[in-house]
Chains A and B, each alone.
Chain A
Amino acid sequence: MMIKGLTSIKLSSTSTRCIGRTFARSYQVAQPDPFFKTEYDEIDNYGSYKNTRFTHKLPETTAQQSPLLVALHSRLNLPNKYEHSTLSQALNLIKNEGLANNFGLNTLGKNLLTYYVSEYLLMRYPRLPIPVFNEAINAYMGVDSLYEVGKSWGIEADVTSKLDKHLSQENELLKYGRLRFLEDSEKSKITEDGIVELNEYESRTIQGNKFISSESEAYASSVRSIIGGLYTHCGEESAKKFIYDHILSRKVEFESMFQFSKPTRELTRICEKLNLTEPISVRLIAETGRLSSHAIYVTGVFVGNQKLGEGVGSSINESKTRAVVNSLLSYYLYTPIDESGNPIKLPSDVNYKFEGIVGEGDVAI
């Protein structure tokens, strides 16, 4: 029984190393994928790493005849230098069909995205607390967001099997413009409404009662790969512009991402950290009157003569808490501007000179 279980793990999972025991590893360890048959002269000589498995790239002339690829290329306004075959490669997640897949492009695109998104957030919102910062990164470039981006680009998933394609006499070139992530055996699976059978990847991503479907991960990976492809063909500048146009132009509501447990205490700690010597006072500014049918109170948080924030509520306590939360938000969501009132320059901009501030770290309560 036990041996059976072990062998099945050995066969199915590449990320867990099993030597007699199974490990439920909670952290990620980079491991070379044996599929690519990577070879190297010395382990620390990264230049000598080579994947020796033979894969071929779709010829550019073939790729240009696929209407889906041409349409996607033009929809994304990609420069002429961006080859259609690279676009087709970015949409291919299947490893073992001989065609080059998007593994490398995906990694490249992910690194670029991580750099530009975190640079943007760190410079624009230098005081974001770490948990919110991480969620903000996720909101911009998490799987859910990139899935939506991929959908909005009109990328089609390849869900019909070889047999279906043959029977419907579909042009073979159409396949190369679709997102290929399902093996043929998975395509013909019988599905039932309301029931989802998780595959190996999906069951690894379960958190609470949510999981990342392999479809959304495939869309996200194709979006990353298209960015990676843009970098390889047209350089960093256009990849950056693409990320700003498509990813960072989306709206993230930072104000609704904070969940404070003890806002007043947190505000006190922040004031201590900022060396504000005068005590904090929360004072009523205006009210409609205690006996009015829907009483409204306006409360302000003050340090000396300075007002940190203001809140409106239908009871004194509510308005006080809102005032404190608002002053916390206005501290955390501060955006530095330059002398002329424009957003400050980022390190990847030309003629960058440091301006703005560096966040002082989170407070403990």
Chain B
Amino acid sequence: MPVKAIPKVSIARNGVGTLVVPCNKIQIQYCNWGGSSQGVRDLLTNGQLNNFASNNKNIFIEVIKKSGHPTATFHYSNKDKVNEIDIKNLKFNEVLKKINEYSQRSGNELFKWNHKVLSINQSTRGIWSPMHEAKSDRYKI
């Protein structure tokens, strides 16, 4: 056999071809009695959460009634990441803002990239090489 093959798995490029929103499930847990859940209860009664759900049909929203401070749990299909946030004592519009924000995340940890490009593709132009200058222009060691 002249050449052997090395098995590889294809690498996902979400957004090339099509975009599948990584956030697929939101669990909102609230208490029917406690004051810290007032905002969530308002959100549930004024129909804003229904609006959000019908605008984001790709997200499965589960509302859980349980005593204690309210939380929102976001499930991402990206490496099965789960992100639980505290939404106690927030007004209903602040809760909605949180839900909007977290439902648009990829599930990856936020980080700062201090370089120009982050890519899995090779540069089209190639890397500059000092060895390919004309011989007269090369730096002499």
Query: A: which residues have CB within 8 A of B?
Result: 67-68, 70-71, 74-77, 129, 131-132, 134-136, 138-140, 142, 144-145, 148-149, 151-154, 244-253, 256-262, 266, 269, 285-289, 292, 296, 298, 312, 332, 362-365
Contacts and interface: CB of A to CB of B under 8 A. Distances in A.
A363 B2 CA distance: 7
B2 A261 contact: yes
Given A68-B60, A71-B57, A148 B12 contact: yes
Given A257-B8, A363-B2, A245 B18 contact: yes
Interface string B58-101: 11110000000000000101101000000000000000000000
A234 to B, nearest CB: 15
Contacts of A249: 13, 16-18
Given A75-B20, A251-B120, A260 B3 contact: yes
A258 B21 contact: no
Contacts of A258: 3-6
B10 A259 contact: no
A104 B131 CA distance: 59
Interface string B1-38: 11111111111111011101110110000000000000
Contacts of A363: 2
B141 A139 contact: no
Contact of A286 (B3, B17, B77, B131): B131
Given A152-B77, A154-B25, A259-B6, 18 more contacts: A74-B57, A131-B3, A131-B4, A139-B8, A139-B10, A148-B12, A152-B22, A154-B20, A154-B75, A246-B17, A247-B10, A250-B11, A257-B6, A257-B7, A258-B6, A269-B2, A285-B131, A287-B131
21 contacts: A67-B61, A71-B58, A71-B60, A75-B21, A131-B1, A131-B3, A132-B3, A132-B5, A135-B6, A136-B5, A139-B9, A145-B9, A145-B10, A152-B12, A153-B77, A247-B10, A250-B11, A259-B4, A260-B2, A286-B131, A289-B141
Interface residues of B, number: 39
B16 to A, nearest CB: 5
B59 to A, nearest CB: 6
Contacts of B115: none
A292 B130 CA distance: 15
Contacts of A292: 141
B77 A151 contact: yes
A285 B138 CA distance: 13
Nearest to A270: B2
A76 B20 contact: yes
A188 to B, nearest CB: 22
B132 interface: yes
A257 B18 CA distance: 26
B137 to A, nearest CB: 12
B6 A75 contact: no
Nearest to B14: A152
Contacts of A256: 6, 8
B11 A266 contact: no
A71 B7 CA distance: 34
Contacts of A136: 5
B9 A266 contact: no
Contacts of A289: 141
